[in-house]
Amino acid sequence: MNQIYPLFLTIIALGACSADTQQATDTTKAKFNQKQAEIEKSIAEQAEQDRPQFDVPAVDYTTPIAMVNLHNDDEIIAAVGSPVVDQESGANQNGEPMTTYYFSDELRNGLEISLSREFVDVAWKYDQDQPEKATAVFEDGQRISRALLGGQDGAALYENISKGGEIEMLSAANGALVKNARCGSSMCRYAVER
């Protein structure tokens, strides 16, 4: 009997500890779930702020766009459909020679394409407070995206990023590899490997 009493107390103590542990676990889970919901809400709010805040032009499927050879700089430049306003030489992120072509005099609204041996970097800047000019820039971005990647893939990329989506990597039907495609509150951009 003397041995049963300490054993009985130990079982009761362990039971009480187990109940306290379960309650602590439940509290921790609730705090974790609340914190996770707050983080998800913050990410969604940030994505909403980062996407274009005006009516982005829809894809124009009625106008066919010829696909270009990714290794032919002249074809790529001609596919924009606007004259080159300025160009400058530099280096890409790997130190390779690169030429950037600008298709607008404006700093806030315009398409630019940077061509190097490794990449075709596409970026279009827009000022949502000037919706007419911003719409024209998005139409240029749509046109060059379809020319580089093909009608379907280029349109899908354009639609996705113009609605706030981000694409880390995408392999197009023509074999092109697109990296880091995204739009922010004043610029859309992506790179195509050559």
Q: How far apart are CA 107 and CA 109, in angstroms?
A: 6
- pLDDT tens figures, 20-69: 666 767 777 777 777 776 666 655 555 555 556 667 778 888 888 889 99
DSSP 119: E
Q: What is the pLDDT of residue 145?
A: 95
Q: What is the pTM of this model?
A: 0.71
Mean pLDDT over the full length of the chain: 84
Q: Are 115 and 97 in contact (CB under 8 A)?
A: no
Q: Per-residue pLDDT for 71 more than 90? A: yes
In DSSP terms, which residues pair with 189 in a beta bridge? Answer: 123, 182
Q: How far apart are CA 77 and CA 88, in angstroms?
A: 14
Span 135-163, average pLDDT: 92
Token pair for residue 98? 């690169």
Q: Per-residue pLDDT for 73 more than 70? A: yes
Label residue 88 by pLDDT band (50, 70, 90).
very high
Q: Per-residue pLDDT for 91 more than 70? A: yes
Q: What is the pLDDT of residue 177?
A: 94
Does residue 17 or residue 177 have the better pLDDT?
177
Extents of the domains making up the chain? 1-50, 73-193
Among residues 186, 36, 175, the alpha carbon closest in space to that of 125 is found at: 186
Q: What is the pLDDT of residue 61?
A: 80
Exposed e or buried b per residue across 162-194, where buried means at least 16 C-beta atoms within 10 angstroms of its C-beta:
bebeeeeebebeeebebeebbbbebebbbbbee
Q: What is the pLDDT of residue 55?
A: 75
